[in-house]
Amino acid sequence: MPESAPHKDMPSSKGPQHGPLAEARQEAGAQGAGRQPASTKDQPGQEKHAPSSSGTTADQVASLKAQLAEPRSIAIVTHARPDGDAIGSSVGLMLALRQMGHEARVVVPNAYADFLAWLPGLEGVLDHQTQTEQAAQIMAEAELVFCLDFNTPARLESLAQRLLKSDATRVMIDHHRDPEGFTRFRWHDTGASSTAELVYGWLEDMGELHRINRDVATCLYIGMLTDTGSFRYSNTGPRTLRVAAALLEHGVDVEGCYARIYHTFSEDRMRFFGHCLANNMRIFPEYRTGLIHVSRAELECFRVRTGDTEGLVNYPLSIQGIVFSAFIVDRTNLVKLSLRSKGDLNVDAIAREHFSGGGHRNASGGISNTDLDSTVQRFIDLLPTVPGLTA
């Protein structure tokens, strides 16, 4: 993720980021697959107190606090191919929960990128793909499962069944649009920059901010840094910078964090970016759109590793006049799309409607079950139908 083409998550800043931090609710009886809450607002008849800046109801805080009053076995799960926010928020929460006296582990569906491999606390992370038995045991034994940085169990891929099978109390902490109702507790705010920012709010609500030390602060800071493109996307609000400032009070090494995330390209990766920009980028000025496609052969040829494609999708947006960008890549079993936009263009809606995906207004992703060439053609064909693209 180079400076000019940084991160994936670019949620809308239109949310009430400056009001209540998190809209948390207790979905009595809602835990279980498939239940879709009517709305993300508090349900009628549910009295809303505001014991803290988060807008969390006192009942929910008290109920979860009571469950955490004695040492618990806790699993934290996050989405497949976890990014900086997924890992930073999960590991930061894990370290804080351990200090609260709990046994906490993070279970990821599959590998995270190498540029995150220096974070503190990673020894507590289990990869469900390569450490399946251990991960299964943690999931089976967990009394609580925290679900971080995803809004639907589908984003856990093969780990989803283990989550849905377990009797553990589930707690969502997330900022993606339209969360599904698979958790009992929910700290959710699409106006938050990142899940890491919401984990800070969760600790605040639980009266546990004093658990934050340099390691916790570093993990949460990395989540915020990566999801905001180094605090420059529109999801960066006053609250984001206030939380970041509070984290810096704990001794986060700002320059070191930046260098470890953004200045760690391999030569292969840099040449791969060059190749994509020179040979695989198509620009459609009439639709203010750019597109980069990559075949499986190219991934092999450039020895592309997990996380290496991250940030490429942002490059077309640096071209004057381009407001919509897609990165389409042929992965082993499926064709994956990343969509990005500037301004009001809602790529969450496009990903949902055409590519079985979703995400945020300005950053979303999805999949296609046709081959690369036909997916690229399908994407080009839909451009005239996207409202607001033609100048």
Burial class (CB in 10 A: 0-12, 13-18, 19+), 152: middle
For residues 306 and 323, what is the distance between their CA atoms, to the nearest angstrom?
27
Taking CA atoms, 116 is separated from 33, 81, 89, 261, 363, in Å, by 31, 12, 12, 7, 21
- Secondary structure letter of residue 217 according to DSSP: H
Nearer to ligand 5GP by C-beta: 147 or 217? 147
Out of 6, 8, 148, 312, point to the residue binding ligand 5GP (CB under 6 A). 8
Q: Is 177 in the site for ligand 5GP (CB under 6 A)?
A: no
Q: Is 359 in the site for ligand 5GP (CB under 6 A)?
A: yes
Report the partner that residue 85 touches, choosing among ligand 5GP, Mn ion, none (CB closer than 5 to 8 A by kind).
Answer: Mn ion
Nearer to Mn ion by C-beta: 150 or 262? 150
The helix/strand/coil state of 93 is helix
Segment lying near ligand 5GP (by CB under 6 A), choices 47-55, 180-188, 357-365, 373-381: 357-365
For residues 363 and 229, what is the distance between their CA atoms, to the nearest angstrom?
12
- Within 10 A of 278 (CB to CB), how many other CB atoms are there? 8
Q: Is 341 in the site for ligand 5GP (CB under 6 A)?
A: no
The helix/strand/coil state of 212 is coil
Segment lying near Mn ion (by CB under 5 A), choices 9-17, 93-101, 207-215, 276-284: 9-17
Nearer to ligand 5GP by C-beta: 57 or 338? 338
Segment lying near ligand 5GP (by CB under 6 A), choices 23-31, 88-96, 208-216, 353-361: 353-361
User: How many residues sit close enough to Mn ion to count as binding (CB under 5 A)?
Assistant: 6
Structure tokens at 224: 């915020």
Segment lying near ligand 5GP (by CB under 6 A), choices 48-56, 110-118, 163-171, 362-370: 362-370
Taking CA atoms, 40 is separated from 13, 24, 178, 249, in Å, by 17, 9, 8, 33
**8 contacts 233 by C-beta, under 8 angstroms:** no
Out of 57, 193, 236, 364, point to the residue binding ligand 5GP (CB under 6 A). 364
Report the run of H or E that residue 108 belongs to, with start and end. Answer: strand 103-108
| Shortest CB 57 distance to ligand 5GP, Å | 27
User: How many residues sit close enough to ligand 5GP to count as binding (CB under 6 A)?
Assistant: 14
Nearer to ligand 5GP by C-beta: 97 or 339? 339
Return residues touching ligand 5GP (CB under 6 A).
8-9, 155, 176, 338, 357-360, 363-367
